[in-house]
Amino acid sequence: MSNKALCPACDSYTSDVYRAFVIDGATCPNCGLPADTYHEIERIRRSRADTELTERLEAALIRAGKAETEAGRLRQRLARIEAVVAGELDGEG
């Protein structure tokens, strides 16, 4: 039987999610939630904090994790655009 993990952002419960979060320390293969965010949420759940506060914190961490992932994608996209523009200004384009 393979190990599985539940992504708190997209509710995927698969061995791929487990591998990404626990083994590889990567993002959720389905929604891009960072492994650090997953582990932080798991620590909070284990601490048995107030239920309402835990739910609010989980939601905030999910939003922050997804925003970090999107910011990284946008930085990469901007770098590619800057490279194209720089090439055109240098007369390469």
pLDDT given at position 43: 86
pLDDT given at position 81: 93
Give whole-number Cα distances, 79 to 7, 23, 31, 76, in Å. 30, 30, 23, 5
pLDDT given at position 55: 84
Per-residue pLDDT of the chain (93 residues; tens, 9 = 90+): 589 999 999 999 999 999 999 999 999 999 999 999 999 988 888 777 677 788 888 899 999 999 999 999 999 999 999 999 988 877 665
pLDDT given at position 3: 94
pLDDT given at position 92: 60
User: Sign of dihedral through CA atoms 56, 58, 64, 69?
Assistant: negative
